[in-house]
Structure 1
Amino acid sequence: MHNSAFKCIRSLLFDQQYFWIIASLVILGDAILTQLIVRFVPYTEIDWKTYMVHIDLYLKGERNYVNITGPTGPLVYPAGHVHIHHLLHRITNAGRNVAQAQQIYAGLYVLSVVLVCAIYKKANIPNWTLLLLPLSKRLHSIFVLRLFNDCWSIIFVQAAILAFQSAWDDIGILLFSLALSIKMSAILYLPGLLVIIFKRHGFFATIRHMLVLASTQILLARSFLAADAKSYMQNAFDLSRIFLYKWTVNWRFVDERTFLSPTWAKGLLLGHVTVLIAFGLFRWCRSDGGVPRVLQRGLRRPSLPAGLAPVGPDYVATVLMTSNLIGIIFARSLHYQFYSWYSQQVPLLTQRTRFPFVMQMALMGAIEYAWNVYPSTPLSSGLLLAANSLMLLGIWFGYPEGKLSGKQ
């Protein structure tokens, strides 16, 4: 009896045949946990009222981004954000029914868990990994206790990753474009995505997908672009935005003067680009014989795939999530809600290192701990940078193309 129970548990935790059984239990358990959090943990107002004030101005006919501002600042998100919050404004009585908004975000959170489970299944991640997904205190807070717009962007990013894993690239690019239209942070995936599309389809198709991406942005923002295109672009896609030092989670160990300096910003950008190029040149095309051969094939036969090795689901998830992680490490500032950008990806990313199990768990624990220290301290910021950087280094020397590279 004892032996059969042990075998049953072992099968649930390790046998891919039972993946969706344990996934269903995790999803149900997390849905219940989320409802308990909504019921017993007080809601904290941060940006929700500001989102609704922005929509009030939008409904009054304002289309110039410069004039759309609220209690915590101006509108600094692309047009997709406005369209989603316009709908939420209608459903929640102009934002006054916060309880209803929380239930919408609770459903959104559960949907994110479902999507992550599907991504993990396609990437052949061990069943037991799913048990880690409900453990983030900060992530639940971002969704149901703070109602941040990042949550909507994340959902579309996850759906896009799943589409790219399934080789539904036309659908994937539309979903990714929707994510980008809600929050500019989705652009961190673009370098990895370009590698995937170029390898899978070649030069002409890559250009076509980028044109679809740009066209979708223009279509969603057409009323704002018609009113004042410069104002829209400067606010919705502000690459030079200066963040407040008091909210930074990742650079608390740097003094404020350095944090705000243009030199520091340029240094981070240089670091970001350098590491991306290094992964592009030496890690993401190894199975294809290296970047020169991929580029040569892609340019010589622009209508055919540029890669030799299959671009499978594990490769897609690993490259896209690594591209995102690189951007997070070199971000000029991370605020608490930004943890949602990669929280559910950390279990997969740690398994793309060759680190022993205990060290993988320690990295996850350190990252979660750092994101739950409020306000951040030099120690928590240093720990976060060290853990993120160590994870990326582990991927570099581990499985940067996924564990199933060449086997799919």
Structure 2
Amino acid sequence: PAVFVYIFLGLYYATGRGSDIRLAQYLFAGLYLLNLLLVFRIYCRTNKVPPYVFFFMCCASYRIHSIFVLRLFNDPVAMAILFLAINLFVEERWSWGCLLFSLAVSVKMNILLFAPGLLFLLLQRFGLLGCIPKLCICALLQVVLGLPFLLVNPVGYLTRSFDLGRQFQFKWTVNWRFLPEEVFQNRVFHAALLLAHLAGLGLFALHRWHSSKENILTLLKDPGKRKPASPRLTVNNILWQAFCVCPLNASAWIVFILFSSNFLGVCCSRSLHYQFYVWYFHTLPYLLWCTPTTKLAHMPKVLLLGVIELCWNTYPSTVCSSLSLHICHGLILLQLWYGTAPTPVSHTPPPSRKPTAMAKKAQ
């Protein structure tokens, strides 16, 4: 996509036409630190993950360090912009967040795995009519950024930049090594994965993201005309409402929906190559700790992170490593499904900061 070309063209000239690789590595090291800062800021807003987990996120992944500083892939660039967009979403700055989300898509298409969750959040927050301007921001930016290519070869740009039918090479797959290559390349298998992905998104949207007793189609209504959400009376929900303030609650809910949307896409991917680890590495701690420890204790969660890291560090991938990766993904999905998701809040417009007439009289 266009922004990928612009960024790496800039790197090409900044490094003396690609001759100063060390400078490029320094720049990507800075990007790595910025990415960590953005992720930590999200985690601090949600207050879900214990502090010791941040050590594993910073220091325990050789593969992530390699993807950022040694390989210089575009995946980290896209994810850093994406995490900046999520920071804006949790601050209720939706228009700017959508702008940066679209910018991240124009670096690498994997960001679209977050799109179902974002669409759900936009509908929940604004309704159908209010959602349309936000979607127009995303679409318009893609047109503007891609204009130099669309004017010359629109078909070539769209089909090659956003190639949904791309065939992956079996030798690089991390997650499907246990399958015969004929099955891995089979279009029927790809269609089955797509159906599984859509089914997973549908189930989570109906039963995990949408907790209101009303029909999910009420998301199309204006938020002011909906009935307030009525969460189940569980001990966790009562404690959450008693001890958590509203902004924290909303932040946790936004992050849960976006991260779980992306994780479902990763689980159903036709192939995961080694650089794709960065697509969800920084979201794994939240996915593991967003549910109560009664569903999965702290130590098994840390062990799951360790096994996933081992699977991604096994080169070339083996039958055992790819099977283990799927088992870990399955366990995370199960604990997300049976765990208690954060309680949603009623998305009413924020109160005006202007003093009311009564307040002026009181002054």
Into which bin does the TM-score normalised by the smaller protein fall?
A: 0.7 to 0.9
CA deviation after TM superposition for structure 1 residue 405, in Å: 4.2
Cα distance change on mapping 1:203 and 1:305 into 2, 3 Å:
farther
The answer for the alignment partner of 1:35 in structure 2 is none
CA deviation after TM superposition for structure 1 residue 128, in Å: 2.7
Please list, as runs of the form range in 1=range in 2, the aligned pairs for 1:3-402 lying within 5 A after superposition: 78-125=1-48, 126-134=50-58, 135-286=60-211, 288-290=212-214, 292=215, 294-296=216-218, 298-299=220-221, 301=222, 304=224, 308-309=228-229, 312-353=250-291, 354-400=295-341, 402=342
CA deviation after TM superposition for structure 1 residue 275, in Å: 0.4
Q: Answer yes or no: is the 8 Å Cα contact 1:153–1:179 preserved in 2.
A: yes
CA deviation after TM superposition for structure 1 residue 308, in Å: 3.7
Q: Answer yes or no: is the 8 Å Cα contact 1:198–1:305 preserved in 2.
A: no
Write the deviation string for residues 270-298 of structure 1: whole angstroms up to 9, x where unpaired: 00000000001111011x225x1x42363
- The share of aligned pairs that are identical, in percent, is 37
> TM-score, length-normalised on structure 1?
0.76
Q: Answer yes or no: is the 8 Å Cα contact 1:200–1:307 preserved in 2.
A: no
CA deviation after TM superposition for structure 1 residue 131, in Å: 2.0
The answer for the alignment partner of 1:12 in structure 2 is none
Cα distance change on mapping 1:306 and 1:172 into 2, 3 Å:
farther
Cα distance change on mapping 1:118 and 1:306 into 2, 3 Å:
farther
For residues 100 and 308 of structure 1, the distance between their equivalents in structure 2, rounded to whole angstroms, comes to 54
For residues 168 and 219 of structure 2, the distance between their equivalents in structure 1, rounded to whole angstroms, comes to 43
For residues 310 and 113 of structure 2, the distance between their equivalents in structure 1, rounded to whole angstroms, comes to 24
Cα distance change on mapping 1:306 and 1:151 into 2, 3 Å:
farther
Q: Answer yes or no: is the 8 Å Cα contact 1:143–1:151 preserved in 2.
A: yes
Count of aligned positions? 324
Q: Answer yes or no: is the 8 Å Cα contact 1:201–1:306 preserved in 2.
A: no
For residues 323 and 87 of structure 2, the distance between their equivalents in structure 1, rounded to whole angstroms, comes to 33
Q: Answer yes or no: is the 8 Å Cα contact 2:124–2:219 preserved in 1.
A: no
Aligned letter for 2:55?
L
Stretch moving more, 160-169 or 311-320: 311-320
SS in 2 for 1:162: helix
Aligned letter for 1:366?
V
Write the deviation string for residues 105-159 of structure 1: whole angstroms up to 9, x where unpaired: 0000000110111000011133333222111111001000110110110101100
For residues 144 and 333 of structure 1, the distance between their equivalents in structure 2, rounded to whole angstroms, comes to 23
SS in 2 for 1:227: coil
Q: Answer yes or no: is the 8 Å Cα contact 1:102–1:145 preserved in 2.
A: yes
For residues 106 and 198 of structure 1, the distance between their equivalents in structure 2, rounded to whole angstroms, comes to 37
Aligned letter for 2:250?
G
Aligned letter for 2:256?
T
Q: Answer yes or no: is the 8 Å Cα contact 1:352–1:394 preserved in 2.
A: no
Structure 1 unaligned segments of length 5 or more: list them. Answer: 1-77
RMSD: 1.8
Q: Which structure would you say has the larger RCO, counting Cα contacts within 8 Å and 6 or more residues apart?
A: 2
Q: Answer yes or no: is the 8 Å Cα contact 1:199–1:307 preserved in 2.
A: no
Q: Answer yes or no: is the 8 Å Cα contact 2:88–2:94 preserved in 1.
A: yes
Aligned letter for 2:12?
H
For residues 384 and 305 of structure 1, the distance between their equivalents in structure 2, rounded to whole angstroms, comes to 44
SS in 2 for 1:239: coil
Q: Answer yes or no: is the 8 Å Cα contact 1:192–1:320 preserved in 2.
A: yes
The answer for the alignment partner of 1:34 in structure 2 is none
CA deviation after TM superposition for structure 1 residue 86, in Å: 1.5
For residues 227 and 174 of structure 2, the distance between their equivalents in structure 1, rounded to whole angstroms, comes to 39
For residues 296 and 252 of structure 1, the distance between their equivalents in structure 2, rounded to whole angstroms, comes to 43
CA deviation after TM superposition for structure 1 residue 370, in Å: 0.4
> TM-score, length-normalised on structure 2?
0.86
